[in-house]
Amino acid sequence: MKTKARIALSSIFIFVLISITLAVFPDFLTTYFSSQFSKKETVSTGIKEKGLYHSNCLGQCPGGATNDNIIVDHEIIILSSNRITKFADWVAYKVTPANLNGPERKRNWAKDPHLDIKFTLIPGDYKGLSQDPFNFDRGHQAPLAHFKNHEKWYAVNYLSNITPQKKNLNRGVWRIVEGIERKLARTHGEVYRSPS
């Protein structure tokens, strides 16, 4: 009986945690399971009549970004870089089991080579932000752990994929959601993450 009660409490705790995460960050996780769709849309890189299509988006990539944004395709991720803020308005990617189990990779922060220096941050721009009074992490939009076994894993360390996040967010709920994405990919084969 105690074991059943523990399992029930654990299930309730996980459900509440996921519910709170999705309530606080409604656009953070728009996850699709390819196994739930009777027919998978064929998408390709490029702009079509209705918008942007890419293999990392299940259907059309997110909209809502300004027309001045620069679309950057790093194969494993695609993002819409804002020329003014120098941060991505959105980052879309596909999590697959084949990319998960790889060697430990270093966080070698770098300027995005696809962006002109006037439209992107450089590693020096983050100097001192991790200390008081700021306490910010360099937060991956597309996590490094999702691509450890991909040959282009280094692309997620480009600063175009990084947003300053408070440490307790980056190492707390954000990390939990990233873990959920990997778990879903291991279970379902493919998980798409593209904020709407």
Annotated active-site positions, please? 140
Asked if 86 contacts 121 with a C-beta cutoff of 8 angstroms, the reply is yes
The Cα–Cα gap between 111 and 33 comes to 33
Asked if 110 contacts 162 with a C-beta cutoff of 8 angstroms, the reply is no
The Cα–Cα gap between 171 and 106 comes to 17
The Cα–Cα gap between 109 and 166 comes to 18
Give, to the nearest 10 degrees, the angle between helix 2-24 and helix 173-188: 110
The Cα–Cα gap between 107 and 88 comes to 19
- Expressed in angstroms, the distance from the first to the final Cα of the chain is 43
